[in-house]
Amino acid sequence: MHKHIKISIFAILGFLQIGLAQDDKKDLGTETVTVVKAYSPTISDAFKVKSVPTLNDSIVLQKKPIKYSIFSVPVASTFTPSKGKASGVKKLPPEKIYNSYASIGLGNYNNALADFYTSSALNRDERLDLSLNHHSSRGEIDGTALDNIFYNTKLDASYTKKDRDISWGANIGAQHQLYNWYGIPNGYYTEELVNGIDEKQNYFNAFAGGFVEVEDSFFKSANLFYRRFWDSTKSGENRAVLKPAFEFPLGDELLTLKAKVDYLGGKFKNGQVANDSNIPGIDYSLLQVGINPNINILGDDLSLNLGVNLVYGMDLENSEGNFYIYPTITASYRLLDEVAIAYGGVEGELKQNSFYGFVEENPYVSPTLEMQPTDQQYDAYIGLKGQLLPNLSYNLKGSYMAENRKPLFLLNPENTSRTDEKGYFYGNSFQVFYDDVKTLGVFGELNVDINRNFSLGINAQVYDYDTETDNPAWNLPGLTASMFMDYQIGEKWFMGANLFYVGERDDLYTIASPGTLPEDFAMTPVTLDSYFDANAHIGYRINEQLSVFAKANNIANQNYMRWNNYQVQGFQVLAGATYKFDL
């Protein structure tokens, strides 16, 4: 009750005060206000709320995670995709390889050629090879007084066996050659004298050998060879050669050690043609024992072989011996990938000359030869080879060689006072003349493979000789050159050709006089003309087993002389067939 009374009193007093204020209101009048400073409002710095207010509202709902799923329903379909088909490629049937072949050919000058070869695998590791070769001619060469027939027949058989760690083999063979000392021109001697000359010479050769090769062993290989060679004048020689090889690790490199034992012994019944009589005979017995250690160092672009050849040579017939030391250093360096490879070397050896070797080079030697080994002091050479194009290769080489006792073929003196059984003392046979020769040589070669079916090559060699005796290098040409070509024409036809050139050579024709020293014999220098020979062949494959061929030799029909007074056959044609088969 008291509370309501107080409120009423305060309300009455308020109204009374307001009424009094309205009654005391007076007129204030007007005044002029001058502003002496422009108004420059300012903005107070704002401030951020440093705490984020939280919202506590029951209306805001939390987001619920949504899960997606696929409702898979199988649908039946009759669509079938087509299968891919590879393009058709014509397959070539594999070439049938036969283990045997036989070839026979006949031509003018009664030339005959026959070849047979077979190679049979006895089992997975063993193989037996057999070959038979024959070449003969019974034709007449114009301008010669004596018969000039020849033939050469050789039979060879070999057996090899290969195992995992060792391989070995053996071979055996025989050979018969017939040649005539026909180097007498028509009209030089009387017909009666010519008819009494026995110009035939027969050579016989029997040989056998074997080899063994071992894997994962310091002993790597060994080769053994034996040959018996004799003729129809009761001359003969034996040669046996053993060559073992060893390998030893030497740091990061490999030391290779090659050894050699080479024995040569023989006898010529007849004495040298320069002698007044056919005495005395010639006996020889030579032995070489050598060892060749070398180290091969291989780098990314460099290949270097450092070695030395130590040889002791003995003349058992005269109880003499000499020790020889030769360098065996070779190197090659890749200058520009396959385009340019530089190579060089210095090598030497003691060459074992033999009656068989001389006959292989010149079958018209007399059975009165002196045997000496050739001391090749060094053969220094440097060259550059490579491929200018993928199908064009080249080889350039310069060399300088020094040889003591180099064998040179020189005409035997004409000595009609001799009474030998065979007719080789009419200036129609050759002796071996030993001279110390230094040879400067330049060699160049180009080979072109136009495609896989056509290849072409050409090479040339130039020599300059300096002899100790100041004589010419007898029967050695200063220039030789050759060219070859092979062309496969389609699947059936094939052909090829080769051409070669031999420069001038020097010889000496000597006439012996009884009781006169050889240096006082009448001598006439002889220069043999250079010659060019061209040969070609063509063939046709009838089927995979049978093919026919034709060969043409001395197409230019030049009656040149390879040796003094030994003319070759003129234009020659030979045709035949080759048949492949299995045995």
Largest CA distance in the chain: 196
pLDDT at 69 over 70: no
Task: Name the DSSP letter for residue 133.
Answer: E
pLDDT for 72 equals: 58
Lowest mean pLDDT among 91-105, 147-161, 250-264: 91-105
Question: Residue range 102-127: average pLDDT?
Answer: 94
Whether a cis peptide bond, with omega within 30° of 0, leads into 280 is yes
pLDDT in tens, 331-351: 999 998 889 999 999 999 999
Q: What is the CA radius of gyration of the chain?
A: 51
**Which domains are assigned to the chain?**
100-581 (2.40.170.20)
pLDDT for 141 equals: 87
pLDDT for 88 equals: 62
pLDDT at 204 over 90: yes
pLDDT at 120 over 50: yes
Per-residue confidence at 186, pLDDT binned at 50, 70, 90?
Answer: confident
Question: Residue range 40-64: average pLDDT?
Answer: 51
pLDDT for 430 equals: 97
pLDDT at 356 over 60: yes
pLDDT at 1 over 70: no
- Average pLDDT over all residues of the chain: 88
Cα 424 to Cα 412: distance, rounded to the nearest angstrom: 9
Task: Tell me which residue has tokens 């050896």.
Answer: 349
pLDDT in tens, 485-517: 999 998 899 999 999 999 999 999 999 988 888
pLDDT for 143 equals: 84
Cα 305 to Cα 290: distance, rounded to the nearest angstrom: 18
Task: Return the structure tokens found at 274.
Answer: 């320069």
pLDDT at 67 over 80: no
Q: In terms of pLDDT, which residue wins out, 451 or 545?
A: 545
pLDDT for 419 equals: 86
pLDDT in tens, 3-23: 444 444 444 445 444 444 444
pLDDT for 15 equals: 45
Per-residue confidence at 30, pLDDT binned at 50, 70, 90?
Answer: low
Per-residue confidence at 42, pLDDT binned at 50, 70, 90?
Answer: low
What backbone phi and psi angles, to 5 degrees, belong to 506?
-110, 145
Cα 555 to Cα 565: distance, rounded to the nearest angstrom: 21
Cα 273 to Cα 77: distance, rounded to the nearest angstrom: 108
Q: Which H or E run contains 19?
A: helix 2-23
Residue type, 110: N
pLDDT for 22 equals: 45
Per-residue confidence at 73, pLDDT binned at 50, 70, 90?
Answer: low
Lowest mean pLDDT among 227-231, 337-341, 547-551, 576-580: 337-341
Closest CA relative to residue 522, chosen from 150, 214, 301, 274: 274
Q: What is the pTM of this model?
A: 0.82
Cα 241 to Cα 225: distance, rounded to the nearest angstrom: 5
pLDDT in tens, 379-422: 999 999 999 998 999 999 999 999 999 999 999 999 998 888 89
pLDDT for 86 equals: 60
